[in-house]
Amino acid sequence: MNALGASHLVGTVDPSKSTCFCQYHQEAAKKRGINFERTKEGYHKLDAFAKAALADQRPSDGYYVEFQRIMLQYPEIVARDQLFDYGKHQIVDDVYKAIKALGKKQLVGLHIEHVNSFNPFFRATRDYADLATRVDFLKIVVYNNCGGERYQHFIKNIGLTMFKDIPHEELMRFNSRLLGYSENEASYNDLPIAGLSPDYVYRETQRALKGVKGKCLILPGIDIGIPTGKNSRKQSPDDVYKATLAAYKAGADGIILSRKYSEMKLNLIDAAGRAIREATKG
């Protein structure tokens, strides 16, 4: 993601700083049979590709074909990228065992990053069926209000490198199809001011529930006052109410008000509470 800017969090795409080749990561790669020299060579190729794309130096076969060619020639890139997930899952497993050793009542959960809502390549690394066997609940990020500007930022970033041949609006619609989103989401230009819809919350919640197959709880993280840019959508209580209700209508086992209390206005929390009471009454 860092090498290609394939995240909403990347401000400036700088592929030369995309990964670490310290001795510890070299040892971890070796244990999994990953060739260090081939991996490094592949990342140098990816670095050169991304820098050329940023400089508008179009490959003769186009940006995406050239990207795919590098990935086929250097499968070590993907193999090394997976080291992050192997390490993270090991920590999750260790934490789970430690907490359960103290008592069975404590619930252990895992936060599923927001880029999971935007990046199909990243989404492929988050297998809900597997993750459900490691924890008691998954907190899936469905921050729809700030999600608009974040989604636009993601599309803008990937439109600078491997998908540079595709206009942003077409790229966003194609990407949304891959992710299973409604065609009624706002246009690329309007995403920041419109945000993502409650339907996005509903669909992501349902997808997670189907993915875990009842093996763990799904607690969507609802956006409550997460800051947005000057010209981006500012949340209303009605926005929070509809997003919260959408999660419950999809079948959520509960919700997590996100991201932190210091960002939340009381009228927004009240709106979430109203939706919770309405969804759980009786």
Alpha carbon 266 to chain centroid distance? Answer: 28
In this predicted model, what pLDDT tens digit does every residue of 131-163 receive, in sequence order?
Answer: 999 999 999 999 999 999 999 999 999 999 999
Other beta carbons within 10 angstroms of residue 162's beta carbon come to: 25
Query: Which neighbouring-strand residues pair with 111?
Result: 139
In this predicted model, what pLDDT tens digit does every residue of 55-100 receive, in sequence order?
Answer: 999 999 999 999 999 999 999 999 998 998 999 999 999 999 999 9
Are the CB atoms for 257 and 222 separated by under 8 Å?
yes
Are the CB atoms for 225 and 269 separated by under 8 Å?
no
- Three-class SS of residue 103? coil
In this predicted model, what pLDDT tens digit does every residue of 212-232 receive, in sequence order?
Answer: 999 999 999 999 999 999 999
Q: What percent of the chain has pLDDT over 90?
A: 87
d(CA 22, CA 132): 32
- Three-class SS of residue 221? strand
Which of 22-36, 216-230, 258-272 has the lowest average pLDDT? 22-36
DSSP-derived pairing of the beta strands 217-218 and 137-140: parallel
pLDDT of residue 5: 77
Query: Which neighbouring-strand residues pair with 137?
Result: 109, 217
Q: Which residues contact 91 (CB under 8 A, 6 or more apart)?
A: none
**Angle 63-73/76-102 helices, nearest 10 degrees?**
70
**From the CA atom positions of the chain, what is the Rg in Å?**
20
d(CA 48, CA 128): 34
Confidence of residue 7 (pLDDT cuts 50, 70, 90): confident
Question: How much is the mean pLDDT over the chain?
Answer: 94
The top-scoring range by mean pLDDT among 5-14, 96-105, 143-152 is 143-152
Other beta carbons within 10 angstroms of residue 213's beta carbon come to: 10
Are the CB atoms for 203 and 218 separated by under 8 Å?
no
- Three-class SS of residue 273? helix
Which amino acid is present at 241?
A: Y
Structure tokens at 102: 């103290």
* Residue 172 reports pLDDT greater than 90: yes
